[in-house]
Amino acid sequence: ETGVTQSPTHLIKTRGQQVTLRCSSQSGHNTVSWYQQALGQGPQFIFQYYREEENGRGNFPPRFSGLQFPNYSSELNVNALELDDSALYLCASSSRINEQFFGPGTRLTVL
Amino acid sequence: KQEVTQIPAALSVPEGENLVLNCSFTDSAIYNLQWFRQDPGKGLTSLLLIQSSQREQTSGRLNASLDKSSGRSTLYIAASQPGDSATYLCAVTDGGADGLTFGKGTHLIIQP
């Protein structure tokens, strides 16, 4: 059974640019959630996708958007990057009992 | 709005000690609670999941309890080892599409 994978591992961008992060869910999981974790903080929920539709969103602006594909993999897109977007971005896929399994994360640095 | 608090924020103990990490949440209408471990700069590893109808779960040297009515959970680690050093995060969900709400974590150091 393959776990949750994310790419890339690290990314450096400049303010105003756009970025796309990718996630492959664990086999058999059809729900994917994205989280942002600033240094020293707990992860913050960005949004959740179920069967290719966004069905839940945290307190993040519209420049954070996503997609889920028929194979349940997902993308997180962030437009007009700001310095405060620097964080570890985590993807999680959910089992039937809503246990969440996380990937290794993508470290985004915005200069 | 659900809020999760973890106490203590940091803990340093000698190897071999038993220890307890605490987690409290403000809204008792949860679906489940998960404990995670996070090594520096890494993703989260799920340790234990407790459904709202359960009182505790055990895995090896770890035991997690849940008192939903009082909004509290504890993670008990027996016979601690240096490899247990990590940040431990508690998170709850109401089972809807609002994701997990996390505490800030307890940074644990086990001294050899």
pLDDT of residue A73: 93
> What is the average pLDDT across B67-78?
97
Does B89 sit within 8 Å of A100, measured CB to CB? no
What tokens appear for B30 in the block?
């949860």
Sort B112 into a burial class: Cβ within 10 Å, 0-12 / 13-18 / 19+. exposed
Calpha distance B69→B49 (Å, rounded): 17
Residues of chain A falling short of pLDDT 50:
none
pLDDT of residue A34: 97
pLDDT of residue A49: 93
Q: Give percent of chain B with pLDDT exceeding 90.
A: 94
Question: Which residues 33-52 in chain B show a CB within 8 A of chain A?
Answer: 34, 36, 41-46, 49, 51
pLDDT of residue B34: 96
B87 and chain A in contact, CB less than 8 A: no
What tokens appear for A111 in the block?
């200069």
For residue range A40-70, list pLDDT tens digits in order: 999 999 999 998 999 999 999 999 999 999 9
Residue A99 has its nearest CB partner, among B34, B42, B96, at B34
Calpha distance B23→B89 (Å, rounded): 9
Does A99 sit within 8 Å of B43, measured CB to CB? no
SS3 content of chain A, % helix, strand, coil (to 5): 5, 50, 45
Residue A48 has its nearest CB partner, among B46, B97, B102, at B97
Pairing of strands A106-110, A87-94: antiparallel
Half-sphere exposure of B33 (CA within 13 A, CB side): 33
Calpha distance B54→B52 (Å, rounded): 6
For residue range B5-58, list pLDDT tens digits in order: 999 999 999 999 999 999 999 999 999 999 999 999 899 999 999 999 999 999
Q: A17 to chain B, minimum CA–CA distance in Å?
A: 24
Half-sphere exposure of B18 (CA within 13 A, CB side): 6
Q: B81 to chain A, minimum CA–CA distance in Å?
A: 23
Mean residue pLDDT across chain B: 96
pLDDT of residue A95: 74
Chain B residues touching A92 at Cβ < 8 A: 44, 100
Q: A81 to chain B, minimum CA–CA distance in Å?
A: 21
Q: A15 to chain B, minimum CA–CA distance in Å?
A: 23
